Structure 1
Amino acid sequence: MAAQQPRIGLIDDPRLLAGAAGGLVSALAALWAFRGLPAGLGLFWLSPLPLFLAGLGFGKLALTVAVGAGGAALLAVTPGLLPLLLWLALYGLPVLLLVALGLRAGPRIALTTPLALLGLWPAGLTLVAAVLAADLGGLEAVMRTTVELGLTRMGADVPAAAVDQIVRLNAAALALWLGIALAANAAAAQAFLGRRGLALAAAPQWREARLPAWYPALPALAGIAWLLADPADALLPLSLSLVLAVPLLLQGLAAMHRRLARHSARLPLLILFYVLILVFSLPGALILVALGLLEQYGRRNPPANM
């Protein structure tokens, strides 16, 4: 009697099963937040985690299935295309690109190009938003209306000068939030998979992250465009300059962790630095960007007392 052949079908492929499960869980977390249910904000932060688990544990095919399954689920249960487009723009497509760029040939996950993508992707979204807002009075008018509506709903009475400041920094704040959310979920997924021997590639040295040599020129060029722009049209180049500087800020954070890695008071110093960054947000961000530039173009192996 011939030996029974193992079944090989779509439902027997672990990559497809993991991808479908990851996409559905991610879509459910996003939908929970879209409906305004309790703990929705926290679940929205964790929405990319199942996607990273599928991609870093089962490969690009599983992640593609996850994005497709999650998108189909949101399209089926939500009215209109806005929830689907938000989920794809914030999580689905960037996670797909990050994993594809990170899981290249090599024993470890690559960090250089994915780190640059954390600035390039929000910059692209900013350009798309500017194009879509052209018929609604421009990007600044749309952002100002959105900020004022949000402040009104919160019952906050904010001076006009503060509203102007929020409008200027709004795109950069969203880009920083997105970059931190994606990086944190990617690190958590890789750590979870690595402890169980399921990761496709070894974890990278997160503290050694460094941008491509050409990348710092992009925020500099956008900053020059902002300085030369007419004041009425200055918001777009300013937003692009700040958004593109987010990877430099993240590289500065990585450099700070690396320089304190062997310090005896590492934990108290890190807590102190993070508190100072939160209290003095803008000066702290500028210092981190400067540290990122120093890490990019300075000495490769600074002394421990630096």
Structure 2
Amino acid sequence: MSNVETEPTELHRGTPADGERSAGVPHIDVLAPRDVPLGGPRAMKVRRTLPQRGRTLIGAWCFADHYGPDDVAVTDGMDVAPHPHTGLQTVSWLFGGEIEHRDSLGSHALVRPGELNLMTGGYGISHSEASTAQTTVLHGVQLWVALPEQHRYAERDFQHYVPGPVRIAGAEIRVFLGSFAGDVSPVPTFTPLLGAEIVLEPRAAVTFAVDPGFEHGLLVDHGPVRMADTLLRPAELGYTDTGSDALTLTNESDDRARTVLLGGTPFDEQIVMWWNFIGRSHEEIVRAREDWQNASDRFGAVEGYDGDRLPAPALPNAVIAPRGNPPRP
């Protein structure tokens, strides 16, 4: 998915259930979403929770878009023309509908609910994404992972994986990256990561063992859900720092609640993130944009998409500064 964000918003602090926070309960920051159109007067909107001024990354997760349920008869669904990426991986995960993926590696795949599509951009790749004619309602998340310095020019790649459900009392989990709830995804990552869909039964409270070396983010699709003792409403993302070895999630509704749990070791590198590029300097971004505009071999070509490539926006009239998370306490 292409990044069209222009107006980032602020992070705010979560509110515990009853007055003062209980001893030993992790502190939760709540990242509120902002609406971003994908383009055009009838465009579908996505709700973006990463990046924000107060938080650029959770582990190496650097971008989170949440969309739907979207009636494609009203919005025309998703149609993102071929566009480039550098220095990152894209992670597509659907709750409903179907998306056709094409990339400059020659990959042609369908993104379906409960199936992971992961694309590694490395030095440069391009791809397109469009909802299929069979789709009536589109619903899911699009996530990006920043590649670390050592691997940011990793070989371009595309992987597809279908995790099986893990059922425990009160919850059903699908682990698409990393290790969680006794299940392990075979998909390799360049930094320690966790990505899992968690569906909670009505009024269920479930405590999960988590890696204390990870920071975690919980994106609520359908809720509300209490993360530790902080209430998260639909489309909000709760963040907790490293140090906890357990995390309790509580479904506050009489319906099933659905969330996506993201985690990873703190990503301490500063990144320069603009449009669909991640680099380490302003000059790298300028060069990547020029390469895309000049149709260089760096990004290859997407075959089979019926339409033109997406042009890069104009660069800001300023040096793009590196971004990182707030200093750790």
TM bracket, shorter-chain basis: under 0.3
Q: Which has the larger radius of gyration?
A: 1
Q: Which has the higher strand share?
A: 2
Specify which structure has the bigger relative contact order, considering alpha-carbon pairs within 8 angstroms and separated by 6 or more residues. 2
Q: Which has the higher helix share?
A: 1
Q: TM-score, normalised by structure 2?
A: 0.22
Q: TM-score, normalised by structure 1?
A: 0.23
